[in-house]
Structure 1
Amino acid sequence: MHVVGEATTGPPALQTVRHPIPDVVLMDIRMPELDGLEVTRQLMDDPRTSHCKVIVVTTFDLDEYVSAALALRVCGFLLKRSGPALLTEAVRAAVNGDMLASPQITVRVLRHAHGTLGRDSETGAPGLSTRGKVRNRVGIAAWAWEHGIAQPSEYN
């Protein structure tokens, strides 16, 4: 792994990612001038950088951020207190096309979803029993939010 650039505010972050274009971007949520979610949105909308794997790394354990990040198809959502080992695993997962979230995030999402998984006859949503649709815990969270089974405000 090689660090090819870093930035502390939003606009320079966009420029840094655009040359050279990295495989994985570690993105904080709260940055001056342009927040990390908006930077991620712009990266995903730009054909030159849309293939970059973005991992959100933040101190802010807010469901609104998790929901917005998942909607942007980030490859991970880590709390900074998770430590370097999980960060390394998240980068490896992103490179391999997988996703990883901090256990604290995953536990909240799964606790809520536990009673609703597989209830497609009640919700009308596709069931999780179909293999290949949901690859891991972050995928489960994204699936639950996309199908209206879970909402960020329900975890507070």
Structure 2
Amino acid sequence: MLRNAYGKSPLRTQCAFKSECNVFVSPTQKDSEVTITLKSGAGATLGVVFKGVATKINGIYLLANQAIETKIDGGGDVFVSILEENTNYQTGVSFGREAYVSDGKTTSFALPKGFCLQDKSLVQVFLEGLLVDFTLSKDGLSVEFAEAPFENASIVVYCAMLQGV
């Protein structure tokens, strides 16, 4: 299951299942230090996962009932994208990524190959590293913007799909 958490620093994000997290930060001040701490389900500190200057930290792996706490020195916004292994399903989760560079005219971008989705909550789109709103096409094969992103903009489309349901 793909889910999101967002809020102001410090943000504590709890995971019920074994999970992979990607953290995106928008600091209030340029070059603010980010600290991500691993916590037990009871809130005890288990260790520091990351400490440094970054706007995106990928591949933080958590066990069931663990949490991460993200703090930005000087404050700011935190967005956490979580891919959880939901043990209630007897299936797998397929996760895809497709990257584009905008030509300044195109408004529709294909989902990763093999994905056809009707549920917008299983798709995330980032423009220059920031999560942006989009419309899922009627056929479920692409994401669409009301206006074309600016020329040379980086666009990344992430999808999750349950298999075997």
TM-score normalised to structure 2 length: 0.25
Task: Give the structure with higher Rg (CA).
Answer: 2
Larger RCO (alpha carbons 8 Å, 6+ apart): 2
Structure with the higher fraction of residues in strand conformation: 2
